[in-house]
Amino acid sequence: MSICELFDLEEIRMIEMNFQDVSNEALLVHMLRGGSEARLLISQDEVPLAMAREDDGWKVVSFLWKEPSEELIESLPELDIKVYTCDTETYREAVYDHFSRMMLQELEPAMEDVPHDRTKKVSDLVWKEWNFKPGDLCYDCCCGSGVGSLALSKVGMRAFSFDIDGSLLCRGLKQGRLQTYSTVQMDATKASQYLERAHFALMLMAGDIGPGTSWVWQAIFEQVLQLADHVMVTVGTKEEAEQLRAWSEAKGRSSRVFENPRDKFYDRWVLVAD
Ligand SMILES: C[S@@+](CC[C@H](N)C(=O)[O-])C[C@H]1O[C@@H](n2cnc3c(N)ncnc32)[C@H](O)[C@@H]1O
Predicted confidence (pLDDT) per residue in 174-225, tens digit: 999 999 999 999 999 999 999 999 999 999 999 889 899 999 999 999 999 9
Give residue 218's pLDDT: 98
Same-domain pairing of 123 and 90? no
| Ligand 1, atom nearest to 219 Cα | 19
Average pLDDT (227-248) is 97
Last residue within a domain, chosen from 80, 106, 132: 106
In a domain, 25, yes or no: yes
For a mutational test of ligand 1's pocket, the pick from 118, 138, 141, 163, i.e. the residue with the most ligand atoms closer than 8 A to its C-beta, is 163
Same-domain pairing of 65 and 161? no
Same-domain pairing of 142 and 266? yes
In a domain, 40, yes or no: yes
Same-domain pairing of 266 and 208? yes
Crossing angle between the packed helical segments 238-250 and 214-227, to the nearest 10 degrees: 50
Average pLDDT (121-133) is 98
Same-domain pairing of 100 and 136? no
Same-domain pairing of 250 and 230? yes
What is the whole-number distance in angstroms between the Cα of residue 74 and the centre of ligand 1? Answer: 43
Question: Does residue 187 have its Cβ closer than 6 Å to ligand 1?
Answer: yes
pLDDT in tens, 37-64: 999 999 999 999 999 999 999 999 999 9
In a domain, 111, yes or no: no
| Ligand 1, atom nearest to 206 Cα | 10
In a domain, 250, yes or no: yes
Give residue 113's pLDDT: 82
In a domain, 113, yes or no: no
b/e 178-198 (16+ beta carbons within 10 angstroms → b): bbbbbbbbbbbbebeebbeeb
Same-domain pairing of 47 and 128? no
For residue 85, give its domain range: 3-106
pLDDT in tens, 153-174: 999 999 999 999 999 999 999 9
Same-domain pairing of 176 and 263? yes
Number of folded domains that form the chain: 2
Same-domain pairing of 94 and 152? no
For a mutational test of ligand 1's pocket, the pick from 117, 142, 147, 215, i.e. the residue with the most ligand atoms closer than 8 A to its C-beta, is 142
Asked if 234 contacts 205 with a C-beta cutoff of 8 angstroms, the reply is: yes
Same-domain pairing of 35 and 157? no
Asked if 268 contacts 236 with a C-beta cutoff of 8 angstroms, the reply is: yes
Q: Which candidate, 54, 78, 48, places its Cα nearest to that of 66?
A: 48
Same-domain pairing of 37 and 146? no
Total-model pTM? 0.96
What is the whole-number distance in angstroms between the Cα of residue 220 and the centre of ligand 1? Answer: 10
Last residue within a domain, chosen from 106, 140, 164: 106
Average pLDDT (70-98) is 96
Average pLDDT, the chain: 97
In a domain, 96, yes or no: yes
Asked if 159 contacts 138 with a C-beta cutoff of 8 angstroms, the reply is: yes
Question: Does residue 209 have its Cβ closer than 6 Å to ligand 1?
Answer: no
Strand, coil or helix: 58: strand
- The per-residue DSSP string of 121-149 comes to HHHHHHHHH----TT-EEEEET-TTTHHH
Q: What is the CATH number of the domain that holds 165?
A: 3.40.50.150
Same-domain pairing of 25 and 54? yes
Give residue 63's pLDDT: 97
Last residue within a domain, chosen from 66, 83, 106: 106
In a domain, 112, yes or no: no
| Ligand 1, atom nearest to 168 Cα | 27
